[in-house]
Structure 1
Amino acid sequence: MPKFTFKRKIYAKMLEWKSESKGRTALLIEGARRIGKSTIVEEFAQREYETYILIDFNKASEEVKSLFDDLMDLDFIFLRLQAIFHKSLKSRNSVIIFDEVQKCPNARQAIKYLVADGRYDYIETGSLISIKKNTESITIPSEEDRLQMYPMDFEEFRWAMNDDVTIPTLSKFFERKLPLGAAFRTTMRGLRLYALVGGMPQAVVEYLETNDLRKVDAIKRKIIKLYTEDFLKLDPSGNMSKLFESIPAQLSRGANRYVTSSIIGKVGKVSENSLLQQLEDSKTVNVCYHCDDPNVGMALTQNQERFKLFVCDTGLFVTLAFWDKNFTENVIYERMLSDKLSANLGYVYENLVAQMLTAKGDKLFYHTWAQDEKHNYEIDFILSRGKKICPIEVKSSGYRTHASLDAFCKKFSERIQDRYLIYTKDLGHNEQVQHIPTCFTMFI
């Protein structure tokens, strides 16, 4: 186990699975690489079971992998696993972990029979994109519950900073619609630090150990290189990598959609859609689709050809934005720390809001329409709440103007529940629009 073990929200969901499943299903935890899947699973196994066996299929021997080629004798398989890993398995009080299960398709396929046997619990981890790629020829087990894991959210980041007070306090202020007052500057400074460090556990550990953002940036560069290496394995043409690496540039243009042809040329709709689907499955990006007719069922009018891409972790986004520069030339660090981020770097906050909404379980949609021949209105995000929708406009500054929000609410007045302007000042509101600081995003 690593030196730092961070409290993660997915742990409670894993407890719920264990209690409700009672061995009738396996648990598959999906998510991007380096977000802490393996760590949280091993911590769960240590705490919640008498014994466990962890099979890391990145490192497993051929002897271990070959055990799942023939499932006729499960007793033999369990005996061999106990002998190889020097662990004793206890009926209904042990768990077997298949880490990076996509590396051994036969082990994934074996889940159906292992679960039916009923003696032990099973938890799998993997990246959805690799799982799809490596398990095309096998029968996917239906005896499997899935949980999506994300980089550390703002509350988990505060927990890592040994702070379990800030977020519950913010929640109370939000519920009562009260400004933060004296606590505002400190809270926003903490949020800006979160945006710079990000929610990748390795980056958070580096920050805690060194308090050096240069070293944190180096860790994030290693993670990005790992992602691009994965992309090249899946798409040797390099187009997938280019789409990922160009996210900051595309957002900085202020265009109302991601223009893929400007990055990879015209590759055809089938290839373009395949690349986008693979990126989305990798969970390294959060995709925000254009909703042509904003209503409760926004997925019904989701436009597959109009979308924006955000990096799954804003800390990685900050590093990616200045990929070709030295750390000292990345002005985002200095300007965010001093709360002097210029308007042309405001896309950092847009990525942060996208990440915070995704982490709380919201699907991302946006909407644009013509203002006149040369200009468009745009709503950055639209959330579905009950039978109504909530439009959101994001500002990287304290400006309270919201022409797009006003026009949208006039156009779709019958569909609106709440309307939000997310910006970098303290809570404020008029008769219709709630002006909330970025740190309140997690509560809407």
Structure 2
Amino acid sequence: MQRVLINKLIEWKNNNNFKPLILEGARQVGKTWLILEFSKKHFDDYIYINFESDSLVKSIFNDDLKIDKIIEQLSIHYNKEIDPNKTIIILDEIQECSRALTSLKYFCEHNIKYRLIASGSLLRIASNKGSSFPVGKIELLHLYPMTFSEFLLANNEEKLLNYLNTINSIEKIPELSFNKLKSYLEIYYITGGMPESIKTYLETKDLEKVQKVLSTLILFYKRDFIKYLDGKDINRINTVFESLPTQLSKKNKKFSFKVMKENARAREYIDSIQWLTDIHLIYKIYKNNAAGLPIKNYQDNNSFKLYMCDIGLLNNMFNVSIDTLSKENNEKIAYFKGSITDNFILQSLINLFDQKPYYWSILNPSHEVDFLIEYKNNIIPIEVKSNENIKSKSLNVYKEKYKTTTILRIRFSMQNICLDGDVLNIPIFLVDKTNILIDLALNLLKSN
């Protein structure tokens, strides 16, 4: 498999003015694999430290955090010379050793020779348990689940992906390529972007085995709840987590505490929601009340939606089969299919733009735009359709309300690429090319 983020790691290596690097992300998104792959290809040697499996190494960080002493003890422990010009030091599962997390500050301040890269899925939780998080002393990269483009690459579809990478105009995708991409998308809806589930699919082509892998991953996440939390917190986090399919299958996907439990109060569960977002298992998307810049200034803190970090995990919780998902215009599963499509678009946009979108809604009459993104000083409303239906009443209402600031509107659907006035229709499987298509559409609109 290939991960696009490795290019960012190479940039970090080639930068002479570097800081220790932390690669964060949800559990099982492939952080360790990517770091090791990068280290093997771009360094002469590496020292791999796993604080979860090697508890003895923690003692090296128990005393004062003098860099020379730490390097000396690591060299002795692993019986290996640490050459700052050739060796990278990998600190995996760093949340298990708060002193190691603190040490990154001193590696930045007192010693610029050694390359350190750390990873862990619970870094922020560790920082709340007495460790000193090295704010400003580290570089931070986030690894998301594998994108649809990376999924195509894993399936040896280099030519298809190369064709998509050459798109430089608003023109329809040829029918053969369109149908092929649509078929792959239906499979990706099941596998999602978790590397283990994609690996299982590539090796077996058995989607039932993929579902078993995803069920096991969800079980691991729930065991993490038990490992890091107290009893009452575990119950509340499980309640929030398990309510996601129900929350997202509602017509109004705004998070409702009453859906979880009758008489449930926000103050009882808000910390649980924050914990799940901190470990990057869910995304919290706020409502936006206006079309002003910067977009964050108009955030409604009392209205939000929760999505899963990965479409495969969400689909596994829904337990919707590929045969069901492939059926067009099935009213019985319309909300389920809509929720899965929304989640796919959301996780792809977050990966692409490295920012969380917002959503917009009004009452009387009720209208809602699925997402708002801020892009090159423009606020762009986005509507998501899970099939070929392209009626966009809410997009029209939004445009009427914010005529002067709405230059471009986007609709994701299963129709082909087109620009109808200021509405850009993007096939769902081209979401990873959204930024390129926006630029093309904006240039066309400016020239007309």
Q: 1:113 to 1:413 in 2, by over 3 A?
A: same
Cα distance in 2 between the residues matched to 1:401 and 1:242: 36
Q: Which runs of 5+ in 1 are unaligned?
A: 1-5, 323-329
* Displacement of 1:199: 0.7
- Do structure 1's residue 352 and structure 2's residue 344 form an aligned pair? yes
Check 1:261–1:227 CA distance in 2 against 1; reply closer, same or farther (3 A cut): same
2:8 is aligned with what amino acid? Answer: K
Match of 1:310 in 2: 307
1:275 offset after TM fit, Å? 1.9
Q: Is structure 2 residue 95 aligned with structure 1 residue 106?
A: no
Map Cα deviations across residues 88-119 of structure 1 (whole Å, 9 max, x no partner).
21122211111010100011111222342333
Q: How does 1:1-12 map to 2 (within 5 A)?
A: 6-12=1-7
Deviation, structure 1 residue 20? 1.9
TM-superposed CA distance for 1:139, in Å, is 2.5
Which residue is equivalent to 2:240? Answer: 243
Please tell me whether residue 87 in structure 1 is matched to residue 77 in structure 2. Answer: no
Q: Give the deviation of 1:264 after TM superposition.
A: 4.1
- Superposition deviation, residue 397 in structure 1: 1.6
Counterpart in the other structure of 1:327: none
CA contact (8 A) 1:29 1:125 kept: yes
SS of equivalent residue, structure 2 residue 231: coil
The root-mean-square deviation of aligned C-alpha atoms, in Å, is 2.0
Query: d(CA) in 2 for partners of 1:185 and 1:235?
Result: 49
Higher mean alpha-carbon deviation, 290-299 vs 47-56, is at 290-299
Distance 1:94 1:266 in 2: 57
CA distance in 2, matches of 1:11, 1:438: 25
1:182-226 CA distances to partner (integer Å, 9 max, x unpaired)?
221111111221121111111111111111001010000111111
Q: 1:8-57 CA distances to partner (integer Å, 9 max, x unpaired)?
A: 111111111122254x4100011000000011111111112111111111
Which residue is equivalent to 2:417? 427
| 2:443 corresponding residue in structure 1 | none
Q: What is the one-letter code of the residue matched to 1:162?
A: N
1:64-88 Cα distance to aligned partner (Å, 9 max, x none): 1111112366444333322332332
Shift of 1:334: 1.3
Cα 1:82–1:9 change in 2 (3 A) is same
Q: Is the 8 A contact 2:98 2:132 kept in 1?
A: no
Q: Is the 8 A contact 1:92 1:119 kept in 2?
A: yes
Report the residue type matching 1:255 in the other structure. N
In 2, the alpha carbon distance for the partners of 1:132 and 1:197 equals 29
TM-score, normalised on structure 2?
0.89
For residues 293-372 of structure 1, what are the structure 2 equivalents within 5 Å? 293-322=290-319, 330=320, 332-337=321-326, 342-345=333-336, 346-360=338-352, 361-372=354-365
TM-score by length of 1: 0.90
> In 2, Cα distance between the equivalents of 1:9 and 1:40?
10
CA displacement, residues 374-406 of structure 1 (integer Å, 9 cap, x when unaligned) = xx1000011112222111111112112111111
Once residues 339 and 202 of structure 1 are traced to their aligned partners in structure 2, the CA distance between those partners, rounded to angstroms, is: 29
| Aligned residue in 1 for 2:376 | 386
C-alpha change, 1:111 and 1:179, in structure 2 (3 Å) is: same
Which residue does 1:412 correspond to in 2? 402
Secondary structure in 2 aligned to 1:119? coil
Secondary structure at the residue paired with 2:283? strand
Task: Mark the CA change 1:130 to 1:17 in structure 2 (over 3 Å): closer, same or farther.
Answer: closer
CA distance, structure 2, for counterparts of residue 432 and residue 134 of structure 1: 46
Decide which moves more: 70-79 or 399-408: 70-79
Query: Quick one: distance in 2 between partners of 1:296 and 1:235?
Result: 41
User: What's the counterpart of residue 54 of structure 1?
Assistant: 48
SS in 2 for 1:414: coil
Amino acid at match of 2:340: V
Give the number of equivalent residue pairs: 424
Structure 1's 91 and 441: CA in aligned 2 closer, same or farther, altered over 3 A? Answer: closer
- Contact 2:407/2:422 (<8 A) preserved: no
Q: Structure 2: which 5+ residue stretches go unaligned?
A: 435-448
Secondary structure, in 3 states, of the residue corresponding to 2:82?
coil
Aligned to 1:230: 224
**Displacement of 1:268:** 4.5
